C-alpha cells in the first residue's frame, strides 16, 4: 500500500520535497501532523462525499422530458422479449440512466429504444436488454467503462 511500500527510485526526490513542504507548513502554521493529514485528505476527497448515503432503488422508464415514451412507438410493433442484466455501477458511482444507455448502445450497436427498464441501486444497477444477447457481445460489454468503472455485465434472473 501507499504508506508501507518503498518509494520508487524515480519519485524519491519528489517525495523528499513533499516532506520538506509538510515540515515547513507545520512549523509556520502551528498545526499538528494530524491537522495537516486531515487537510490533505480533504483536498484529495474534493467534493465527493466520504460516506455514501444509501438511496432506495429508483426504476427508470424510457420517457423523454416531454412525457412521450413507449406509447409513441408504432402501434403494430411487438415489444421483444427482454432479459435482465446486472452491471457493477450504481448510485455511489454517480451513475445516471443515460450513462448506461449511451455506453451499452454505443458498444453493442443497439438502438437506445431497445434498452428497457433500468434500476439503479447503491453499488450496482440492472438493465433489461433484448433476449439472446450473443456471447461475443457480452464479452465486449464486460470491459466497457462507465464513470471510470467497468460494467462487468452479467445475466440476472428476472423478478
Q: Which three cell numbers stand for residue 2?
A: 501507499
Identify the pLDDT of residue 72. 38
User: Which residue in this structure is represented by grid cell 436488454?
Assistant: 129
Cell digits of residue 37: 493529514
pLDDT at residue 57, as a whole number: 60
Report the chain's terminal Cα–Cα distance, integer Å: 41
Beta bridge partners of residue 83, listed in sequence order = 129
Is pTM beyond 0.95? Reply is no
pLDDT for 65 equals: 46
Q: 58-63+80-156 falls under which CATH superfamily?
A: RRM (RNA recognition motif) domain (3.30.70.330)
Residue-level pLDDT at 103:
92
Q: Please give the average pLDDT of every successive group of 10 residues along the chain, which has 159 residues.
A: 79 88 86 86 73 60 44 42 93 92 90 91 93 88 88 82
- Residue spans of alpha helices (H) in 59-96: none
Asked whether the CA dihedral 82, 85, 89, 90 is positive or negative, the reply is positive
> Do residues 82 and 131 touch, judged by C-beta distance below 8 A?
yes
- pLDDT given at position 27: 86
Which whole-number Å values give the CA distances from 35 to 2, 30, 148, in the listed order? 20, 10, 31
Amino acid at each position: 500500500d501507499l504508506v508501507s511500500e518503498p518509494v520508487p527510485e524515480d519519485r524519491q526526490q519528489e517525495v523528499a520535497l513533499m516532506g520538506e513542504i509538510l515540515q515547513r507548513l507545520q512549523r509556520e502554521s502551528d498545526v499538528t501532523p494530524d491537522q495537516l493529514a486531515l487537510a490533505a485528505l480533504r483536498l484529495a476527497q474534493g467534493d465527493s462525499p466520504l460516506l455514501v448515503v444509501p438511496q432506495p432503488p429508483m426504476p427508470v422508464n424510457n420517457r423523454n422530458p416531454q412525457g412521450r415514451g413507449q406509447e409513441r412507438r408504432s402501434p403494430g410493433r411487438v415489444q421483444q422479449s427482454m432479459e435482465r442484466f446486472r452491471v457493477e455501477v450504481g448510485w455511489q458511482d454517480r451513475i445516471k440512466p443515460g450513462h448506461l444507455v449511451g455506453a451499452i448502445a454505443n458498444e453493442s450497436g443497439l438502438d437506445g429504444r431497445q434498452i428497457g427498464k433500468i434500476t439503479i441501486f447503491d453499488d450496482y444497477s440492472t438493465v433489461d436488454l433484448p433476449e439472446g444477447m450473443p456471447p461475443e457481445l457480452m464479452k465486449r460489454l464486460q470491459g466497457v467503462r462507465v464513470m471510470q468503472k467497468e460494467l462487468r455485465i452479467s445475466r440476472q434472473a428476472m423478478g
